[in-house]
């Protein structure tokens, strides 16, 4: 049984919002992560890893109206994903949605409206049907999200050490896959990071490499037009053009004609949904 998020009466059907699905990466990388998804007048924000002020500023700059925002969804409690969640939820008057372990790990105060969701149990937020899919990462109960509205399916999978069968099954064939491409193995090897940090990044509960993202993209491809958007690209251990080349090259070798877009660290970028059908 899924749950339906209790939207405020004036949320979820904002007339000034966009009807067609729209995806905007407001921030990506170790300094902060947030992805805006809007359809049918309802927007959700996946992660809120900048301050509330910075998020509201970027939303305004990108033409994302806070009036349309219905909920903040959290993948996990790490600061670069959850930093601004409580303040933004309070400022806009929307709930923070996350699984129980993540809500607890975030230590949200009582004044913050929040709702518990369960992994692998789809729930609705306005026009969106959302499913949280567990992923391996060094947090309390980290998830990726697969969201669908108006026939468009979007997967958001950042901060994961590995792409498992369940995620592939749930996200397979998504029109847009926002996927972590955190590091290049050689650049990580020569980076100034201490060895224990490198081991954490490399481990099953760490982050996804360019090669890992490439393998995942090949597995998630369903033989029709799809767009892969690479996020959480490290400024120290990766290069945006390299991440793009590795993933696009792997798709190419498998005869897959998919668009690959890379979002540079701390960049705001609209994701093109043109030609997705
Ligand atoms: Zn994390």
Q: Is residue 13 part of a domain?
A: no
Say whether pTM exceeds 0.85.
Answer: yes
pLDDT in tens, 202-256: 999 999 999 999 999 999 998 888 999 999 999 999 999 999 999 999 999 998 8
Ligand 1 center to residue 210 CA distance, Å? 17
Q: Is residue 173 part of a domain?
A: yes
Q: Is residue 240 part of a domain?
A: yes
Query: How far does the chain reach from its first CA to its final CA, in angstroms?
Result: 30
Q: Is residue 8 part of a domain?
A: no
Q: Which domain range does residue 150 map to?
A: 22-267
Ligand 1 center to residue 163 CA distance, Å? 15
- Of the candidates 178, 259, 250, 186, the one whose C-alpha atom is nearest the C-alpha of residue 214 is 250
Q: Is residue 76 part of a domain?
A: yes
Going from the C-alpha of 146 to that of each of 5, 6, 66, the distances in angstroms are 16, 20, 22
Q: Domains in the chain: how many in total? A: 1
Ligand 1 center to residue 76 CA distance, Å? 7
Q: Is residue 74 part of a domain?
A: yes
Q: Is residue 17 part of a domain?
A: no
Residues surrounding ion ligand 1 at CB below 5 Å: 78, 159
Ligand 1 center to residue 253 CA distance, Å? 31
- Of the candidates 265, 81, 160, the one whose C-alpha atom is nearest the C-alpha of residue 168 is 160
Residue 172, judged by CB atoms within 10 A of its CB (0-12, 13-18, 19+), counts as middle
**CATH number of the domain within which 133 lies:** 3.60.15.10
Q: Is residue 6 part of a domain?
A: no
Question: Residue 15 pLDDT > 70, yes or no?
Answer: no
Are the CB atoms for 248 and 262 separated by under 8 Å? no
- The share of the chain scoring above pLDDT 70, in percent, equals 92
Mean pLDDT of the chain: 90
Show the CA angle centred on residue 138, arms to residues 135 and 142, nearest 5°: 35
Residues in the chain: 277
Question: Residue 12 pLDDT > 90, yes or no?
Answer: no
pLDDT in tens, 227-238: 999 999 999 999
- Position 18 scores a pLDDT of 61
- Position 275 scores a pLDDT of 52
Residue 108's pLDDT band (boundaries 50, 70, 90)?
confident
């Amino acid at each position: 049984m899924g749950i339906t998020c209790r939207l405020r009466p004036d949320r979820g059907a904002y007339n000034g919002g966009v009807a067609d699905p729209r995806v905007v990466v407001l921030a990506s990388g170790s300094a902060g992560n947030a992805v805006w998804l809007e359809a049918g007048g309802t927007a959700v924000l996946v992660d809120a890893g900048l301050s509330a002020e910075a998020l509201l500023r970027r939303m305004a700059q990108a033409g994302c109206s806070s009036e349309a925002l219905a909920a903040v969804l959290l993948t996990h409690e790490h600061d670069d994903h959850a930093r601004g969640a409580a303040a933004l939820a309070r400022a806009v008057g929307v709930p923070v949605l996350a699984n129980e372990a993540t809500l607890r790990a975030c230590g949200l105060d009582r004044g913050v409206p929040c709702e518990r969701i369960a992994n692998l149990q789809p729930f609705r937020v306005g026009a969106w049907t959302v499913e949280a899919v567990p992923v391996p990462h060094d947090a309390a109960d980290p998830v990726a999200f697969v969201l669908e509205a108006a026939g468009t399916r979007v997967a958001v999978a950042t901060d994961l050490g590995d792409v498992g069968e369940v995620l592939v099954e749930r996200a397979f064939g998504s029109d847009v896959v926002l996927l972590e491409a955190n590091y290049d193995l050689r650049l990580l090897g020569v980076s100034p990071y201490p060895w224990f940090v490198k081991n954490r990044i490399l481990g099953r509960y760490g982050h996804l490499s360019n090669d890992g993202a490439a393998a995942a993209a090949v597995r998630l491809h369903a033989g029709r037009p799809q767009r892969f958007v690479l996020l959480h690209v490290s400024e120290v251990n990766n290069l945006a053009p390299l991440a793009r080349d590795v993933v696009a090259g792997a798709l190419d070798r498998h005869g897959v004609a998919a668009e690959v877009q890379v979002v540079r660290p701390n960049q705001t970028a609209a994701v093109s949904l043109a030609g997705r059908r």
